[in-house]
Amino acid sequence: MNIDYNLIGERIKEARKNKGYTQEKLAEEIDVAVAYVSRLEKGFPINLKRIAQISQVLDVSIEYLLSGTVPKSDNYLNKDFEEILERCSPEKLKLIYNIAKTIVKQPEEEIMEEDILDEETNDKSQEKQIKKYNDINGFRFVEKLKKKN
């Protein structure tokens, strides 16, 4: 994965403006020269320490500055899905579509209480429960796909 410093710079600029800060105010807050903030906003490489400082001062998440996603929002994975789907062949897209459709239609009641992990159990027991859950739900999922096709 390549780091796109231009996009990071654009997000810093947008967050700065949303906060109502000038480049001068941001520079003062993170104790750097105004020229440095200007270069960052134009795509100059930035280290994680500075990203953390800027995210704190501008009240945005580090994730947002780095990737444009906000994990607390309902749609934070949309961009990631888009990128994955763009790399798929038509056959893989159809498979992903069928899987997603099946998962969305699956009623929540199908998750059995005994399959839910008890935090007090040991790791080996949890592994067995996870395997059992995956086997049961994986089997149901495969059977539903077979019926559709």
Residues 15 and 60 in one domain: yes
Average pLDDT, the chain: 78
Residue 59 belongs to domain spanning: 5-67
In a domain, 74, yes or no: no
Span 42-47, average pLDDT: 94
In a domain, 79, yes or no: no
Residues 103 and 61 in one domain: no
Q: How many domains does the chain have?
A: 2
In a domain, 134, yes or no: yes
* Exposed / middle / buried, residue 50 (Cβ in 10 Å: 0-12, 13-18, 19+): middle
In a domain, 101, yes or no: yes
> Encoding tokens for residue 40?
């960052």
Residue 32 sits in a domain of what CATH number? Answer: 1.10.260.40
Residues 58 and 95 in one domain: no
In a domain, 85, yes or no: no
CA 106 to chain centre: 24
In a domain, 52, yes or no: yes
Q: Identify residue 104 by its one-letter amino acid code.
A: V
Q: Can you give the pTM of this predicted structure? A: 0.50
**Residue pLDDT, tens place only, 18-35:** 999 999 999 999 999 999
